[in-house]
Amino acid sequence: MSIALITGANKGLGKATARRLAELGHTVYLGARDAERGQSAARELDVPWLQLDVTDDASVNAAAAELTRREGRLDILVNNAGVGGRDVKPDDLTADDLREAYDVNVFGLVRVTHAFLPLLHRSQAGVVVNVSSRLGAFGAMTDPDSFQYPYFTPVYGSSKAAVNMLTVQLAKALPQLRINAVEPGLTATDLHGLSGPGVQTPEEGAEHIVRLATVAADGPTGTFSYDTPLPW
């Protein structure tokens, strides 16, 4: 079965994705920045874990070296780690407001993908799933009829727009891999603190990630989707 790595997987969508992939028989490595939380989640799911802080080059490179030693390849990389960024009014937005979100959501994704690409190239059907959002989709944010249209999310939204463009660029440049972005849907996680009617459970949101994580070698690449393709 495939070897999978999920970043930010000690809770929320990442943990639910790890659980589901493990249930399907994949060997799943749970990536987590915090050792105590990562180990606890890994014990609960009965999966191995890797200490992996996506904002730190040394941490990411050490995780890649460890996975190389243990497995020698990687079949599925799920770039799930993400932060929302603080709420800010339009007149108060500064470059500093973007730094944390970009360091995790954008630079972290690039850092992790770069470090694990040699292992993905050793797979017969390497897959990368970038967890994104319609809040970063121009198609949604310019459509007055969309659910996302009224929201002012320059920090989180622009970081996910960058994730979408990175997905397109990498998919074009690396046609031997399947590289896709996914909107998991409005899900009850710590990212925004929402729950209740109309909000999915992490398990429901994870199904959209798992669908793209398990595409075949001739499956889609360079796409952005929920349960159907979405406008960029």
SS3 49: strand
Q: Is the pLDDT of residue 197 over 60?
A: no
Q: Which residue has the higher pLDDT, 61 or 199?
A: 61
DSSP label at 105? I
Task: Give the residue numbers spanning the domain of 129.
Answer: 3-225
Which pLDDT score is estimated for 42?
A: 98
* CB of 68 closer than 8 Å to CB of 119: yes
Q: What is the pLDDT of residues 164-194, one digit of tens each?
A: 999 999 999 999 999 999 999 887 766 555 5
Residue 232: inside a domain = no
Domain count, the chain: 1
| Triad 193, 7, 223: Cα angle to 5° | 85
Residue 230: inside a domain = no
Structure pTM? 0.95
Residue 231: inside a domain = no
Residue 131: inside a domain = yes
Q: What is the dihedral of CA 8, 29, 195, 37, to 10 degrees?
A: -70
Angle between helices 12-23 and 35-45 (to 10 degrees): 30
Q: What is the pLDDT of residues 28-66, one digit of tens each?
A: 999 999 999 999 999 999 999 999 999 999 999 999 999
Q: How far apart are CA 179 and CA 127, in angstroms?
A: 6
CATH of the domain at 80: 3.40.50.720
Q: What is the pLDDT of residues 56-104, one digit of tens each?
A: 999 999 999 999 999 999 999 999 999 998 889 999 999 999 999 999 9
Burial class for 173, CB neighbours closer than 10 Å (0-12, 13-18, 19+): exposed
Residue 154: inside a domain = yes
Q: How far apart are CA 166 and CA 153, in angstroms?
A: 19
Q: What are the C-alpha distances in Å from 56 to residues 85, 128, 206?
A: 18, 20, 26
Residue type, 21: L
Which pLDDT score is estimated for 87?
A: 81
Residue 205: inside a domain = yes
Q: What are the C-alpha distances in Å from 77 to residues 68, 93, 180, 190?
A: 14, 33, 11, 22
| Residues designated as active site | 156, 160
* CB of 219 closer than 8 Å to CB of 125: no
Q: Which of 27-31, 89-93, 113-117, 194-198 has the lowest mean pLDDT?
A: 194-198
**What integer is the mean pLDDT of 123-137?**
97
Burial class for 35, CB neighbours closer than 10 Å (0-12, 13-18, 19+): exposed
Residue 220: inside a domain = yes
Q: How far apart are CA 224 and CA 231, in angstroms?
A: 7
